[in-house]
A and B are shown apart, each in its own frame.
Chain A
Amino acid sequence: MKYVDEFRNPEKAQALTKEIAKLSQQIDKHLKIMEVCGGHTHSIFKYGIEEILPKNIELIHGPGCPVCVMPKGRIDDAIALCQNPNVIFTTFGDAMRVPGSKTSLLQAKAQGADIRMVYSPLDSLKIAKENPNKEIVFFGLGFETTAPSTAFTILQAAAENITNFSLFANHVLVIPALQALLENPDLQLDGFVGPGHVSMVIGTEPYEFIAQKYHKPIVVSGFEPLDIFQSIWMLLKQIVENRCEVENQYNRLVEKSGNQNAIQAMNQVFTPREKFAWRGLGEIPNSGFQIRKEYAQFDAEAKFHLPNLTVPDHKACQCGEILKGVVKPWECKVFGTACTPENPIGACMVSSEGACAAYYKYGRLSTMAKKATKQTKEPISL
């Protein structure tokens, strides 16, 4: 397929890995590179990319899986919403198995709640038109890649005067999360593979502080194997040449200033919350979107009563440390035993973009364990 197959060419991948090996020999230290986006984590495991990299390059799988960072309390709120007999709750499939404090959306559906999986938030508007006597609530989650589509859906609902549709907004923002990670003195990173599709919306300019204030190189990357290899090669080149810049490997889709239509729609409908709790990472200021007052009639939090409780993570689960790259999934006590994709305790085991699910699905633990340096298991709060 165009723009996919060309970026999976094995000969070019081989040449890039040789270039990466050559550069890594000029670096006399163990490098820790964080891929922020869960989409990259998925590709890295799917194509076995980390295994091919030189021994002194370790990939840290960051907090960029929106399903993984959803706190239990918000899942409980979603379940409370869908248990309202007048509500049809719509969601992307990824969110169905995320454990709340007692149950997941999938279990709630099995118990009779009207929960429907949709491909696009716009599908929810169609359901709203078909069911005028019901309230349709869409579970809006995802980073800035997904937030514009939700914003456009609210704008369309307003334009069509659809009154039985609302959004349970859980969109999270990548820049405050990166800021929180970089402020953590225990997290030693040498560079970032920046998210491709978030950057397609926000552009590359918002990452400048990473290079300028924190002196870390970052390369915004596409998701195919050649994209990721080329991004790691570009990062190593920066490290060898003692540079710290924001570079763009994914320039076929990402522009410096992003997509103005998408940014405008997001800003029209949403405003940052003072703080938003991330599973395992705690509260991060300005890290989530809420609906502006002008669109309050589409805000499920204003329309319905929600328990809005803070629920602590499971004691044995180390998702928080895993999301920060401080602990490797296989070092968690419950990984692969009590916590599996069929019965996840922690959110990192749920989505295919979560580090634990990727390790569990694609295995290769012995290779990965050999490459990883011993890390502290001391919990770190952001």
Chain B
Amino acid sequence: MCLGIPGQIIEITNPEHKLAIVNVGGVKRQINIACIVDEEHPPEKCIGDWVLVHVGFAMNRINEQEAAETLKLLQEIAQTYT
């Protein structure tokens, strides 16, 4: 129920109703982006963003920098065992 899947916003279809097309592992579908738009991030600026998609909504942006830092830490741990 609470699971989600990462996808990339590729097109804004209806800025007024905050609808966009997201590419989830090659499958394209329409989602609502109301959770991730504000004055700083209007719909047109969301194209290219990676988001977590849950029940037809983009629930949050995926923070690329944080993801990279987590993976770097995990890589460092892995290197101590190789």
Contacts and interface: CB of A to CB of B under 8 A. Distances in A.
Chains A and B form a bound pair: yes
A119 B56 contact: yes
Interface stretch (A7-15, A51-59, A371-379): A7-15
Contacts of A195: 2
How extensive is the interface on chain A, given as a class? Answer: 35 or more
B3 A3 contact: no
A197 B54 contact: yes
How extensive is the interface on chain B, given as a class? Answer: 35 or more
B56 A252 contact: no
Given A4-B6, A149-B57, A201-B59, A259 B52 contact: no
B74 A67 contact: no
Contacts of A256: none
Q: Is the interface of B mostly helix, strand, loop or mixed?
A: mixed
B59 A252 contact: no
B1 A66 contact: yes
Nearest to B51: A253
A120 B75 CA distance: 37
A160 to B, nearest CB: 9
Contact of B6 (A1, A9, A14, A143): A1
Contacts of A122: 32, 56
A15 B78 contact: yes
B76 to A, nearest CB: 9
A16 B77 contact: yes
A168 B42 CA distance: 32
A207 interface: no
B71 A143 contact: no
B47 interface: no
A64 B2 CA distance: 9
Interface in A8-42: 9, 11-12, 14-16, 18-19, 37-39, 42
A45 B2 CA distance: 16
B62 A3 contact: yes
A37 B1 CA distance: 10
B45 interface: no
Contacts of A249: 70
Contacts of B3: 39, 42, 197, 223
Q: Max chain B CB contacts within 10 Å: which of A12, A66, A249?
A: A12
A261 B1 contact: no
A261 B38 contact: yes
A19 B76 CA distance: 12
A142 B2 contact: yes
Q: Max chain B CB contacts within 10 Å: which of A4, A11, A351?
A: A11
Interface of B: 1-6, 8, 17, 25, 32, 34-38, 50, 52, 54-57, 59-60, 62-64, 66-67, 69-71, 74-75, 77-78, 80-82
Interface of A: 1-4, 6-7, 9, 11-12, 14-16, 18-19, 37-39, 42, 64-67, 92, 94, 119-123, 141-143, 145-146, 148-149, 152, 156, 195, 197-198, 200-201, 223, 226, 230, 249, 251-253, 259, 261-262, 265, 351, 353
5 contacts: A123-B56, A259-B59, A261-B35, A262-B59, A353-B1
